[in-house]
Amino acid sequence: MKKILLFTFAAFFTIAHLTAQDCNCGSIKFKIGQWKCQGKNASGYPVYSGVLNVGNGPGCTFKLLEMMQQVGGDVSLAMPLSVPPNTVVNTPITFTDNPPFIPAGNSAAFILVFTRGDKKCKIEIMSDKFPPCADVSCKCNPAGWGPFTASIRNKQTTVKCGYQFSLTCADTISLKSIYKCIGKCEAKYTAVLKNTITNTVVQNFSPFVFPWNYRFTTAGSYSLEITPVCGDNKCTPCRFFFTVTCKSACDCNPDGWSKFELVTAAGLKSSLKCGDKIAVKKGVPVKLNGKYTCKGDCAAKYIAVLKNNATGAVIQNYPSFTFPYSYNFPATGDYRLEITAICGTKRCPPCVIFFSAQ
């Protein structure tokens, strides 16, 4: 390989400095320049991009066989480079400088080995001046993380790494920020969401992009670890923690029925539970109060039926039953009131209260 430099000026050179071989085969002009710094390689050597311009006049074909820097830098370009007569070609070149380095603002000599027709020739050409070439490799930045903006329920908060969020399953959280690498490059990101109680991975994000929008579907404790990547370097991650609570689904409760209270017209009170039997007077109104507590964040609804306990005949249906329940038993006999609680869409086991009207 031969050395390559990349900068922004060019100069014309003729074949007057060719070796003694007969390469006088029509006019030809060269220029090397348009240098641009591409940063430094892993060894810390400057790398430049540039352009080789060949203007071949009438007469002979031109074929470039070698290009090298006089002192020893490495030049890279597509070989061989052929230029027909009456043609101008611009070809990109890459130059990696080696010690002793070419100072910014200085020129360097390049040697071209080529054929003109059937003759092999060599020429030395000065390129344009080289620009400064600072180290622009992509590196981690100890102060790379900017502030994070968190948006929950249309409320924005500025937070830092390590912040603990309290969310419900109804919330969508949006996080956005940026990590600034050192060098002319932009950070990329990966992330992992974990359950911190079980240390299991909930989801991997590769790549991870801002803004991050997420809604938790299960209550628990979680962490999100975001890792910025600068070039090939994984940088210090930023972690956030989440405590998530969720309203449980509406369901029947084995212990849902509270005790009932029966109040007579005379103000006498009795405490009852499912399955109890109580004596009442016919023709005297009574009032029954009670409640069923469902599991979850929902209120029970009720249906009921009043039956003659001896015959099973339905006395009255209550498709929408409410407490307190008032009734005046018109005749003596044994009765049963079956009350069914409904939690969401589920019918729960009924509660039966027995009445003996006398």
DSSP-assigned letters across all residues of 77-119: --SSEEE-TTEEEEEEEEEE--SSPPPTT---EEEEEEEETTE
The average pLDDT across 97-125 equals 90
Provide the pLDDT for residue 209: 96
Weakest-pLDDT range from 12-26, 52-66, 189-203: 12-26
Q: Give domain status of residue 252, yes or no.
A: no
Q: Are residues 44 and 74 in the same domain?
A: yes
Please tell me which residue, 27 or 179, carries the higher pLDDT value: 179
- pLDDT tens for each residue of 142-182: 999 999 999 999 899 999 999 999 999 889 999 999 999 98
Mean pLDDT calculated for residue range 48-58: 92
Span 265-283, average pLDDT:
90
Whether residue 20 has pLDDT greater than 80: no
State pLDDT tens for residues 294-341.
Answer: 988 789 999 999 999 999 999 999 999 999 999 999 999 999 999 999
Q: Which ranges constitute the DSSP H helices of the chain?
A: none
Q: Over the stretch 210-260, which tens digit does the pLDDT of each residue have?
A: 999 999 988 999 999 999 999 889 999 999 999 999 877 788 999 999 999
- 163 three-class SS: coil
pLDDT of residue 22: 55
Distance CA 177, CA 228 (A): 11
For residues 240-253, one letter each, b for 16 or more C-beta atoms within 10 angstroms of the residue's C-beta and e for the rest, the string is bebebeeeeebebe
Structure confidence at residue 135 as a pLDDT band (50, 70, 90): low
Q: Which pLDDT belongs to residue 136?
A: 63
Q: Are 19 and 112 found together in one domain?
A: yes
In a domain? residue 135: no
- 156 and 110 share one domain: no
Confidence of residue 9 (pLDDT cuts 50, 70, 90): very low
Region 44-64: what's the mean pLDDT? 90
The answer to whether residues 221 and 264 belong to one domain is: no
| Confidence band, pLDDT 50/70/90 cuts, at residue 192 | very high
How confident is the prediction for the chain on average, in pLDDT?
88
User: Would you say residue 273 has pLDDT above 70?
Assistant: yes
- Closest to 78 (Cα-Cα) out of 64, 95, 59: 64
**Same domain, yes or no, for 38 and 74?**
yes
pLDDT at 16 over 60: no
Residue 1: inside a domain, yes or no? no
Domain total in the chain: 3
Query: 126, 160, 184 — which closes off a domain?
Result: 126
Q: Residue 347 belongs to what domain range?
A: 260-357
Report the C-alpha gap between 342 and 250 in whole angstroms.
Answer: 10
> Is the model more confident about 70 or about 317?
317
Percent over 70 (pLDDT), the chain: 93
Residues 236 and 284 both lie in one domain: no
For residue 133, tell me if it sits in a domain.
Answer: no
* CATH classification of the domain holding 106: 2.60.40
The burial class, CB within 10 Å (0-12 / 13-18 / 19+), for 326 is: exposed
Least confident of 7-16, 97-106, 326-335: 7-16
Q: Is the same domain home to 275 and 234?
A: no
Q: How far apart are CA 292 and CA 207, in angstroms?
A: 50
Let me know: does 90 contact 51? Beta carbons within 8 Å. yes
Q: Answer yes or no: do 95 and 175 share one domain.
A: no
Residue 225 lies in a domain: yes
- Statement to judge: residues 25 and 118 lie in one domain: yes
Query: Hey, what's the torsion of the CAs at 56, 57, 63, 68, to 10 degrees?
Result: -40
